[in-house]
Amino acid sequence: PWRMLDAPEGGTLEQGQAPDARPALRIQAGPVTAASWRARVYLERGRYRFEGAARLAGVAPLPFGRNQGAGLRVAGHRQARPYQFIGDSPWRTLTVDFEVTEPVEAVDLVCELRARQGVVWFDLESLRVVRRP
């Protein structure tokens, strides 16, 4: 189950539908937003990709921070490159690769918005973890 973290002042997090009626996790930015939806999964040692589709409307980045706009990440795992998904965009597939080094690890999947305005929808049916070779 997805849970909210850091609901922004002047913004909202809700589970509902995107404008095209897809089931979605929605984050509406307030003036200073670093909010996310998170889900914990337990994975065995290996290489993985967390992927899913997101759609944006009017997302303006914060003037600070490595990651800007909307993105996917895995808590506690360093990203190869920061995400920079801002502005207006139709559905786009986002991905982040990561590795589990313990025999079994609790991993927090993160759908995040770091912005000063705008809305992101994460397509619930597209969010998944795939094992990589």
The runs of H, that is alpha helices, within 1-131 are none
List Cβ neighbours of 38 (8 Å cut-off, separation of 6 or more). 2, 3, 5, 75, 108, 109, 110, 111
pTM confidence score: 0.95
Would you state the structure tokens that stand for residue 80, as one six-digit string? 């190869």
pLDDT (tens digit per residue) in 59-76: 999 989 889 999 999 998
pLDDT (tens digit per residue) in 100-125: 999 999 999 999 999 999 999 999 99
